[in-house]
Amino acid sequence: MMDFTDEQIHRYARHIILNEVGGTGQAQLLRSKVLVIGAGGLGSPVAMYLAAAGVGTIGVIDDDTVDLSNLQRQILHGTQDVGQSKVESAKRTLNRLNPDVAVETHRLRLDPGNALDLFSRYDVICDGSDNFATRFLVNDACHLAKKTLVSAAILRFDGQLSVYKTQTGGPCYRCIFKEPPPPESIPSCAQAGVLGAIAGWMGAMQATETLKELLNIGESLSGWLVMVDALSCEMRKIKVKRDPGCPLCGDHPTILDLSSQDYTGHACAAA
Ligand SMILES: [Zn+2]
> What is d(CA 35, CA 38) in angstroms, rounded to the nearest whole number?
10
Residue 174 C-alpha to ligand 1 middle, in angstroms?
Answer: 5
Residue 65 C-alpha to ligand 1 middle, in angstroms?
Answer: 33
Is 80 exceeded by the pLDDT of residue 242? yes
**pLDDT, tens digit, 9 for 90 and up, residues 251-264:** 999 999 998 888 87
Residue 147 C-alpha to ligand 1 middle, in angstroms?
Answer: 14
The average pLDDT across 95-111 equals 97
In a domain, residue 243? The reply is yes
* CATH code of the domain containing 109: 3.40.50.720
Higher pLDDT, 82 or 259: 82
Q: Which domain holds residue 153?
A: 32-260
Residue 164 C-alpha to ligand 1 middle, in angstroms?
Answer: 9
In a domain, residue 156? The reply is yes
In a domain, residue 17? The reply is no
In a domain, residue 5? The reply is no
pLDDT at residue 28, rounded to an integer = 98
Is 70 exceeded by the pLDDT of residue 2? no
Residue 2 C-alpha to ligand 1 middle, in angstroms?
Answer: 42
The average pLDDT across 134-142 equals 96
pLDDT at residue 253, rounded to an integer = 95
Residue 257 C-alpha to ligand 1 middle, in angstroms?
Answer: 14
Identify residues whose C-beta is under 5 A from ligand 1, the ion. Answer: 172, 174-175, 246, 248-249
**pLDDT, tens digit, 9 for 90 and up, residues 160-214:** 999 999 999 999 999 999 877 776 666 655 678 999 999 999 999 999 999 999 9
| Confidence category of residue 79, pLDDT binned at 50, 70, 90 | very high
Q: Number of folded domains in the chain?
A: 1
Residue 131 C-alpha to ligand 1 middle, in angstroms?
Answer: 19
pLDDT at residue 263, rounded to an integer = 87
Residue 239 C-alpha to ligand 1 middle, in angstroms?
Answer: 15
Is 60 exceeded by the pLDDT of residue 1? no
| Confidence category of residue 120, pLDDT binned at 50, 70, 90 | very high
Residue 222 C-alpha to ligand 1 middle, in angstroms?
Answer: 12
In a domain, residue 266? The reply is no
Is 70 exceeded by the pLDDT of residue 269? no
In a domain, residue 60? The reply is yes
> What is d(CA 107, CA 95) in angstroms, rounded to the nearest whole number?
17
Residue 119 C-alpha to ligand 1 middle, in angstroms?
Answer: 18
